[in-house]
Amino acid sequence: MKKIAVVNDLSGFGKCSLSVALPIISAMGLECSALPTAILSNQTGFDSFYCKSFTEFLPDYINEWKKMNVHFDAILTGYMADAKQVEIISHFIDDFRTYDTLVFVDPVMADDGVLYDTYDNALCEKVKALTKKANIITPNLTELCILCGADYNEIIKENNLQKIEELAHSLLNETTRTVIVTGIKQNGKIKNLTVEKDRIHRTNHTLLNGSYSGTGDIFSSIVCGGVTNGMDVFDAVTLATNFIYCSIKSTPTQLDYEPYGVNFQNHLEMLINEK
């Protein structure tokens, strides 16, 4: 069975991060090996939460994996708690990557033009450096602007998909062959833009009400799982987009439900059929 190492935080409540990666990747017929970056009582969309960074424990945790001499077909990274942690994960990629290992980085930093509370410019610079080791990256529009040094407010004002394509294309290099820009909102639609050297793919769905935590983690888990299973990345993006749309459609619309995330469990059959 193929293995994916997933580097992300773990929340006791809230369908996000490792809490969604474990069931989704497993449903796709893959083994999900969790490498936690932080432990949270519940995800940060709730009024209060407890959070413990896992940075000081990572070296010993990773050393045990080295003793096991395990091989990963893919490595997927998400939320990072601090700059030191990014350095540790960067070395982890170097140590466990082989010629055929897919490295997939979700550069979690910001959304809607605003940095997350636990991030600063120094941490963002570390995450930017980490993306250069990835084969596939999945920034949202705010994170794309950070990676490219572009003005988010100007990009939103222009509302020009061609300009967004150009920014994404500028991040391609010998290692990074695919940039997937997620959650682009235009004219009542929400779009995902996948850019490679010689081809471009767009998906769009009607923009639904509500703002649910964890959809980015669901997206990256499905795309990473699909590509690891041999799917074309465009097909994997389409699958992830449709899965999230169906999950949101079946999720209660009450505001007090939004921090819990979407009802993705009702739709796992969509992924089991794709393994």
Report DSSP letters for 127-165, one per residue: HHHHHTT-SEE--BHHHHHHHHT--HHHHHHHT-HHHHH
Domains in the chain (CATH in brackets) are 3-272 (3.40.1190.20)
pLDDT in tens, 58-108: 999 999 999 999 999 999 999 999 999 999 999 999 999 999 999 999 999
Among 234, 133, 237, 119, which Cα is nearest to 176's?
A: 133
pLDDT at 198: 96
Three-state secondary structure string covering 54-122:
CHHHHHHHHHHHHHHCCCCCEEEECCCCCHHHHHHHHHHHHHHCCCCCEEEECCCCEECCEECCCCCHH
Q: What is the pLDDT of residue 257?
A: 79
pTM of this structure? 0.96
pLDDT of residue 31: 98
Going by pLDDT thresholds of 50, 70 and 90, the confidence category of residue 52 is very high
- pLDDT for residue 128 is more than 70: yes
Tens digits of residue pLDDT in 181-191: 999 998 889 99
State mean pLDDT over 214-240.
97
d(CA 224, CA 76): 7
Indicate whether 274 pLDDT > 80.
Answer: no
